[in-house]
Amino acid sequence: MATAETPLRDEYAAAVEQVAGRVLAVLRDGEAVTALAAPGTVVPRPLLAAVRVTGADLFAPQLFTGADPDETDAALLAEARRALPAPAPSSEQAAAVIGWQDWAAGQLLARTAYAGAVPVPAPLPGPDALGWLDWSKRMAQLSVLALPTLDGPVHDTARANTLDLARGTVRCMLRRDLATAVRLARWLAWARADGRPLRLELEPVLDRIRLAGDGTARSVLELTIARRLLNGAPR
């Protein structure tokens, strides 16, 4: 039975799709599109939340061309981070995931007029500590870090454990968890762009996700970034 929260949840989900669709349009077409919010206007809270969720991916179109992050989008992301601080994590692992997601956004904002303090979160344990299954789940949650010109401790762990990324991807494909599979495939594509040998033939994986995925803008954005990384990206 529907509750009073359902329309609000749908509104926030629609805002995430709007933001992801806009980033996707710029990434695909290479052309500017209408700004998400006009400068100086009051930004609706669902849109701010969607920008917060999208995080570093907001700047994917510029990063693939070697350009600096868009200043208008940077202003919006900085406002979203001020208005919506990171939620209290439910566990130490959740805190690490949220911390690294925010670190990625902060690293890119540091290249704009909206730079702020960018604390380095606690290290994310590798597969030796977590096991390859739990570690791959964490890496899927951190797919937003798999972008050109971003680098750090999480990326070092990805470089060193491409076999475990491949294992996680295959498991997700077999379980038809394509939303997680595309995030792990994105990490494998990032590793390939970094010069690491692939442990899995990615093209058929990405083709299958394209055909059988949920078709949401957020998933298609992950897929498009993975393909762009696979085809080469600026370091």
Q: Can you list the pairs that 128-133 forms with residues at least 24 positions away whose Cβ atoms lie under 8 Å? A: 132/161, 132/164, 132/167, 132/168, 133/167, 133/168, 133/171
In eight-state DSSP terms, residue 1 is -
CB atoms closer than 10 angstroms to residue 111: 15
Residues 20-73: tens digit of each pLDDT: 999 999 998 776 666 777 677 788 999 999 999 999 999 999 999 999 999 999
| More confidently predicted of 3 and 219 | 219
Please give the full DSSP string across 68-94, using - where no structure is assigned.
Answer: PPPHHHHHHHHHHHHHSPPPPPSSHHH
Residue with the larger pLDDT of the pair 231 and 211: 211
- Interhelix angle 178-193/217-230, rounded to 10 degrees, is 20
Amino acid identity of residue 139, one-letter, is M
Per-residue pLDDT, 1: 42
> In the prediction, which pLDDT does 32 show?
62
pLDDT band at 174 (very low <50, low <70, confident <90, very high): very high
**The predicted structure's pLDDT at residue 116:** 84
Burial of 58 (0-12, 13-18, 19+ CB in 10 A): buried
Question: Is residue 232 scored above 90 in pLDDT?
Answer: no
Query: Are the C-beta atoms of residues 22 and 190 closer than 8 Å to each other?
Result: no
Tell me the whole-structure pTM to 2 decimals.
0.92
Side chain identity at residue 220, one-letter code: V
What's the Rg (C-alpha) of the chain? 17
pLDDT the model gives residue 234:
60
Q: Which among 69, 71, 120, 122 is positioned nearest to 93, based on CA atoms?
A: 122
